[in-house]
C-alpha cells in the first residue's frame, strides 16, 4: 500500500512537471509570435 502511494505521488509530480513545462513552452511561443507580429 505504501509503495503504491509513493508511485501515485511520483506520478503526480511527473504530471505537474510536464504541465509546467508545457505552460512555459506555450507562453514563450506566444511571446515570439507577438514580437514577430509587432516588429
Domain that holds residue 23: 1-39
Domain count, the chain: 1
Give the pLDDT confidence score for residue 12 in this predicted structure: 94
What is the reported pLDDT for 28? 97
* All residues at 6 or more sequence positions from 29 whose CB lies less than 8 Å from its CB, including other chains: none
Residue corresponding to grid cell 506566444: 30
Q: Give residue-wise pLDDT tens across range 1-38.
A: 577 888 889 999 999 999 999 999 999 999 999 999 88
pLDDT (0 to 100) of residue 39: 75
Integer-rounded Cα Rg, in Å, for the chain is 17
pLDDT at position 3, please? 79
- pLDDT of amino acid 1: 57
Amino acid at each position: 500500500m505504501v509503495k503504491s502511494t509513493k508511485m501515485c505521488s511520483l506520478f503526480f509530480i511527473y504530471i505537474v512537471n510536464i504541465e509546467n513545462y508545457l505552460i512555459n513552452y506555450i507562453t514563450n511561443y506566444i511571446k515570439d509570435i507577438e514580437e514577430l507580429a509587432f516588429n
